[in-house]
Structure 1
C-alpha cells in the first residue's frame, strides 16, 4: 500500500482551515516537523496523532485512507431534512413553533437516526408517532402535513 499519510495529513489540516504553523502548535511540534510529516520525510508518532485527534482530525483517514464512520447524523442528511420540513411549511403557508419544526426535521431523518417508532419513551405529550415520512405528528399538539399518521395513545 502506498504511503500517502503526509498528503492526507495536509488534507485534514486544510479541511480544518489551519495553517501549517498553527497546526504544528496544536500538535506540539515545530513547523519543520509538521512539514516533514506532510512531505512523508518523517512519520508521525502516536502522541502526535493523539494530539491532533483532539482537534477534529480523522486519524483513521490519515493512517489508512478510509474515513471513520461517525455515530452522529451526516450534515447532508440534516440539511435535506431541514429543507424538506421548511418546504412543507412554506407550501402549506402555516405557522409552526420551533418545537414543531424540530419534530418535522426529526421525522425526515432516517429511522436509525430519528429513533424507532417502538421507542418506549415517547416525546412531546406522551404519544408515539408512526407515519410514512411526509408528515409529522408529535405529542398532543399535532401538526400533520400530507400523508397519513397513526398515533398510539397507549390504549389497545
Structure 2
C-alpha cells in the first residue's frame, strides 16, 4: 500500500513537475519536500491547499482514492457510455443500471476499447465482473459468463 508521501511524489511526477517547481509553488524547502515524499513527515493543510491549487488530486494523496481516474476526461466517459449502449442494443441485452455501470467501469479500465469506440454490431469486447460472474460481452452479441458462452438472439426489425 502506498503512503501519503509516495502518492504525493506520484502526483508530482504525474504532473511533470520537479521538486524545485513544487518548492516554488508551495514555499517549502527541499528538505521539507523530501521529508513529505519520503514519509518522514506528513504535509500540512497549507501545503496541501497549494498543491491542490496546482492540480494535484489531494484526495488521492491523503486517502489513495482518486476523485476521478487519471487520464479519463468527460469525452472519454461520453464515448464509453455510447459504446456500452451500442453493445447492449446490438446484443439485445437486458441489463440493470448496476450492470450497465459495471460495463462502463470495464470499458473505462480498458482504454483501447473506450478510445476506439466502435459502431453497433462490431466486435468491441469488454471484460469485467457483472454481478457475481465474470463476463465477456462483445458488440456482436456474444456473452460469455464464466466458462459458458451463449449467443444472444438478434432482435428482428
Pick the structure with more strand per residue. Answer: 2
Higher relative contact order (CA 8 A, sep 6+): 2
Larger Rg: 1
Normalising by structure 1, report the TM-score. Answer: 0.46
